Structure 1
């Protein structure tokens, strides 16, 4: 079912997205458990692909875009913000790695439904400033999701993320890359920036699914694309963190499709209505 420029899902279609979301959640958990000094980002990629395919799902990222993305996950290390290509890079003690992962689950008609999420993982011990960067980025994600309401606006999510981060310290909020609608494709309208004014942007409707993904740095918000045409890095070399979840607006509230508990614990902590089943 499609609204004007926004893809609005039926409850049955949201259930298919929940299936994809749980595959992504399990893949990210497996990769997180595998992170250690000495492992390569390519080995982490194989962990994710093996799990996704073992569940009968398909990686969303593999072959996506131009040039075609060559892997199942994005593995972005230290000053890499997003879209890092996994390969021979060896993780070392003190690194941080953002793992972005997507999966597609097909319904009985063969239509694919996407889930998309990201985590940032410390490799061994990291400085306190980096630990705090990861904490505030993950909490900014939940603040943004909790601001979503049927009848509200995309800007409510954006403003909640920016407002929270500005009250946590002097962080760079990446502006050139945003969250997005999601469903039958990985990237749909609307864009969901990580900054902005409340009450602005497209109206939030029941059945809308969004991927929210704050990207935050210890320095500048400015980025550039590396020579591989994919990896996005900070221009000043500062460390970045990235967290993401896919959620849907249901009859009863917010259902975080890529969280094992549906987001219930975090949403209740923030006083937001939980809409899972």
Structure 2
């Protein structure tokens, strides 16, 4: 089977079940709710509506910070989506007939990567809409600028889409390397929701640690996007670090994807499947 035919087969495989739109709905609801809560709190805090005792946030850059909720909070979704693309096939043994029809396993992996790019753009669009709509509504409601008239804001949206694509590719690499679906999902959640957040929080108080944590995948993703709700302000007594340039953050995240994909192909993808 040619690469084009394999890619068509993979596309049909991904969109022939309800999983893709169920995940899209969950992503939209999760990001939309989070963005609405943050939009209300940050906008109110920026205008002093929370009271004189509440800290007042600067309005400069507030729109970009709120819009970035889709990536700074929701990046685990494209990562899991990419992981599930591969581990679900190992779990349900659907790779067996695929490899029988396409003995050149490299073509199957390339086809999955092509479909991963498509899924990254699709879910990225869902995430951007879910974060921008409520955020812009609260900004406008409190008389703050939505920044829709600036090129920087639209460039931010473009980088968010790129981040989603790269996260799905990282997920495909993780899924190819770790065949066990439960193990892969648990590993992804433990790293993204516990290990990296703790390391980045610790780096806020330890100068030398920031030179390492800024190369972690989540930090690289934030650098690529150029904004994050987690770096909107530095806690009192914490140390600020210079993030990577946006293009460097993208390259670091792409590097993670490449390493996982190559390792997955060398040590897992070519092994026998039952």
TM-score (ref. length: structure 1)? 0.29
> Which of the two has greater helix per residue?
2
Instruction: State which structure, 1 or 2, has the greater radius of gyration over its C-alpha atoms.
Output: 2
The structure showing larger relative contact order (alpha-carbon pairs under 8 Å, at least 6 residues apart) is 2
Q: Which has the higher strand share?
A: 1
